[in-house]
Each structure stands twice: as structure tokens, then as C-alpha cells.
């Protein structure tokens, strides 16, 4: 389609991998390097099939639960989303060598939950039911200690235990704007509710949404590179539409982009969720070039320099299993 009208692409910055995702993937890769295959991973290490399949080719074996793992002494990695306390307890009972790839910013929410509980507070957790991060966070405390609040309707209807002191925590990958609206309702109903010392929605989620907001009013189509089970990626699509972009689509790979969507379009925004590697953004750009000339411009709203250290078990001399 050499005669197609040129397309100008606004690239969101930042986009793609965050520090927590980068650390989680490196944990699996380093465990494979030090201990050899297989390295077992409970659940997808991050929500991206390209990443998962790449690790599988290196020798990672992904399972849903620990009972699928044989007692062969090989490392077991818990995903970046975090796990309920029952999971490491079960691993310890079987004397498994496990590595926790939970994002440190998710672990921060876990510690907050424990501290509020220790102070006798009942917690509201703003998040999405069934998401691994929410399951992991609720699993830090006894049943009934946390009430999940998913949306504004929940915030208006929720009834905490009578007379309970209250606190709130949130999933780290939520829409900043949606969460603010939910929180405003809860705070108007429960003005004494304790808040986190520092906002729970992580820097990467906030920055990626801010970049999309900056681009959305300037483009006719937003392409989000990400997986449908990736909370932060789904939020980017929603944010683009809310911020004034007339159309937004999510693709997992460049080949998934329907070129028919480009008919009559001259300006496109491209971003990627925190679990999508930059190589997939390059695939999308290559796909766009199949149609005709493409120019790119990066719109950067924040610089990210955060790096999270690997677990000591991987940076010290590798322990040998008995």
C-alpha cells in the first residue's frame, strides 16, 4: 500500500516494562542460569504470553498450583502479583526452595494490610475480584478482615462491621481517576478511615496513564500493546477513551492489529502495558509500516529510573539443596 497516506505515531513515554516486571523476569532467568531447568513458576510470572513463552523456551514450567510440582528440589518462583500467605506456608511444609518475585510495591500493600489489621482496623480493598494481586493481598489476613470494593456502586453500598475502625488499601494497577472517585465516596461515608502513608497505585501505573492522557486528545486511534488479563493494560485503553481519543484497541502482537482500522486515520497513539516488552511495540510499528509511511514522535511525561534488587538467594552464592 505504497500510496497510503502517511501516519504519524505518538509513542507514550513511559511505556512497557516497569521495575517490578523486569525484576520478576530476571528472577526466573537467573534461577534458570544458576540451577538449570526446570524452574517452576506458579501462575504467569507477568500477564504477557510472549514473555511466558520466551521463559518456557528457556526451561521454565508454569503451573497453577504447587501440587502440580514434583519434589525434585528445583526452584519454585511466585509471580509478580503476590500470593496469599498460605502459598509460601505450603511450600515450606514441602521443603521447597522458593523465590518470591512479588513486586516490592505489592509487598508494600501487604505490609500495610498487616499493620492496619494489627491496629484493629477493618480494611476496604479497592480492586478487581479474582485478580491475582487482589487474591494475594486478601490472603495476607484472616477471612473477613478485608472487604473488597470494586466500583462506585460498591462504595455506596458497602457496610463494614458495626463500630469497626476502618482503613483502605488499593490494588496497584487501577485507574487513577476511577479509584479517586471510589475513594471520594468512601471518605464521604467514613471520614475517619485511615489512608496509606503513600499511595498504593504504583508509579508505573500512574506514569503510563499520564502519558496516555497527554496523547489521547491528539490522536484518532490509540493502540495499547498488552494482554486482556493485564489489569494495567486494560486500564490504559479505558483511560485513552476517557481522555478524548475516539477509538482505542488492545493488541498482544503486531500481527493482531487490523490495518482496516487505519482507514482515514493520520495520527495514532501507541503505548504498552507494564508487562509488555518493547519488542512488541516494535512489532506494532512494523505492522503500521506494512500499510505505508510512518513517522514517530515520543511524548515523555516522566523519567523512570527505579530498579529493584533480586532476592539475596540469587545474588549470594547459590544455595545447594540437600
Q: pLDDT digit string (tens) for 120-135?
A: 999 999 999 999 999 9
Peptide bond into 200 cis (omega under 30): no
288 domain-assigned? yes
Specify whether 214 is located in the same domain as 294.
yes
| Residue 231 domain flag | yes
Pick the last residue of a domain from 142, 157, 189. 189
Angstrom distance (rounded) from CA 52 to CA 56: 6
To the nearest 10 degrees (0 to 180), the angle between helices 203-215 and 176-189 is 120
Position 2 in a domain: no
Residue 262 within any structural domain of the chain: yes
Same domain, 214 and 173: no
Q: What's phi and psi for 38, nearest 5 deg?
A: -85, 155
Same structural domain for residues 98 and 131? Answer: no
Is 247 in the same domain as 263? yes
Same domain, 125 and 182: yes
- Domain check: are 133 and 172 in the same one? yes
| Domain shared by 165 and 215, yes or no | no
E-strand ranges in the chain read: 7-13, 39-42, 60-63, 76-78, 98-100, 121-126, 146-149, 165-170, 221-225, 248-251, 267-272, 294-300
Residues 35 and 98 reside in one and the same domain:
yes
Query: In this structure, are residues 47 and 236 in contact, taking their beta carbons and an 8 Å threshold?
Result: no
Domain boundary among 133, 156, 189: 189
Bin 227: left if φ > 0, else alpha if -120 < ψ < 50, else beta. beta
Q: Which of 30, 44, 112, 133 is catalytic?
A: 133
Q: CA-CA distance, 265 to 166, in Å (whole number)?
A: 50
- The whole domain housing 174 covers 105-189
Residues 215 and 289 in one domain: yes
The answer to whether the CB of 148 falls within 8 A of the CB of 174 is no
In a domain, 65, yes or no: yes
Element (H, E) at 148: strand 146-149
Say whether 133 is catalytic.
yes
Nearest to 158 by CA among 133, 123, 132, 131: 123
List the chain residues with pLDDT less than 50.
Answer: 318-322
Cα separation, 12 vs 211, whole angstroms: 5
Q: Which of 132, 162, 189 is the last residue of a domain?
A: 189
Longest pairwise C-alpha distance within the chain: 70
What span, in angstroms and rounded, lies between the C-alpha atoms of 177 and 209?
Answer: 10
The Cα-based distances of 85 to 100, 139, 156, 268 in angstroms read 12, 6, 30, 44
* CATH number of residue 216's parent domain: 3.40.1010.20
In a domain, 318, yes or no: no
Tell me if 260 is assigned to some domain. Answer: yes
SS3 content of the chain, % helix, strand, coil (to 5): 40, 20, 40
244 & 226 share domain: yes
Output the pLDDT for position 5: 86
* H/E segment holding residue 118: helix 104-118
Note whether residue 306 is domain-resident. no
Torsion of CA 192, 197, 203, 209, to 10 degrees: 10
For residue 233, the cross-strand partners are none
- 73 and 87, same domain (yes or no): yes
How many other C-beta atoms are found inside a 10 Å radius of the C-beta of residue 282? 12
| 65 & 127 share domain | no
| Three-class SS state of 116 | helix
| Res 261: pLDDT | 95
**pLDDT score at 197:** 85
pLDDT of residue 315: 87
- What's this model's pTM, rounded to 2 decimal places? 0.94
Find the distance separating the first CA and the last CA of the chain, reported in whole Å.
Answer: 63
Phi, psi of 133 (to 5 degrees): -65, -40
- The pLDDT, as a whole number, for residue 317 is 52
- How many independent structural domains does the chain possess? 3
Amino acid at each position: 500500500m505504497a500510496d497510503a497516506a502517511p501516519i504519524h505515531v505518538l509513542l507514550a513515554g513511559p511505556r512497557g516494562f516497569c521495575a517490578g516486571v523486569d525484576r520478576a523476569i530476571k528472577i526466573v532467568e537467573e534461577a534458570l542460569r544458576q540451577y538449570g531447568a526446570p524452574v517452576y513458576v506458579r501462575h504467569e510470572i507477568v500477564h504477557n504470553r510472549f514473555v511466558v513463552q520466551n521463559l518456557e523456551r528457556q526451561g521454565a514450567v508454569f503451573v497453577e498450583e504447587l501440587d502440580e510440582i514434583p519434589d525434585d528440589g528445583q526452584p519454585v518462583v511466585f509471580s509478580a502479583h503476590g500470593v496469599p500467605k498460605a502459598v509460601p506456608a505450603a511450600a515450606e511444609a514441602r521443603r521447597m526452595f522458593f523465590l518470591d518475585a512479588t513486586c516490592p510495591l505489592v509487598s508494600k500493600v501487604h505490609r500495610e494490610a498487616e499493620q492496619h489489621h494489627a491496629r484493629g482496623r477493618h480494611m476496604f480493598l479497592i480492586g478487581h475480584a479474582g485478580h491475582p494481586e487482589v487474591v494475594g493481598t486478601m490472603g495476607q489476613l484472616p477471612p473477613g478482615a478485608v472487604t473488597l470494593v470494586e466500583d462506585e456502586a460498591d462504595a455506596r453500598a458497602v457496610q463494614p462491621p458495626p463500630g469497626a475502625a476502618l482503613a483502605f488499601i488499593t490494588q496497584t494497577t487501577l485507574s487513577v481517576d476511577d479509584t479517586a472517585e471510589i475513594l471520594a465516596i468512601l471518605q464521604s461515608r467514613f471520614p475517619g478511615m485511615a489512608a496509606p502513608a503513600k499511595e498504593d497505585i504504583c508509579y508505573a501505573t500512574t506514569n503510563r496513564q499520564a502519558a496516555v492522557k497527554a496523547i489521547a486528545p491528539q490522536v484518532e486511534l490509540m493502540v495499547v500493546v498488552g494482554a486482556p488479563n493485564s489489569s494495567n493494560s486494560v486500564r490504559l485503553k479505558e483511560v485513552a477513551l476517557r481522555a478524548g481519543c475516539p477509538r482505542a484497541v488492545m493488541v498482544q502482537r503486531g500481527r493482531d492489529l487490523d490495518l482496516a482500522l487505519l482507514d482515514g486515520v493520520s495520527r495514532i497513539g501507541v503505548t504498552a502495558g507494564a508487562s509488555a516488552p518493547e519488542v512488541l511495540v516494535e512489532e506494532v510499528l512494523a505492522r503500521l509500516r506494512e500499510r505505508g509511511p510512518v513517522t514517530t514522535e515520543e511524548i515523555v511525561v516522566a523519567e523512570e529510573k527505579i530498579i529493584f534488587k533480586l532476592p539475596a538467594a540469587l545474588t549470594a552464592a547459590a544455595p545447594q539443596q540437600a
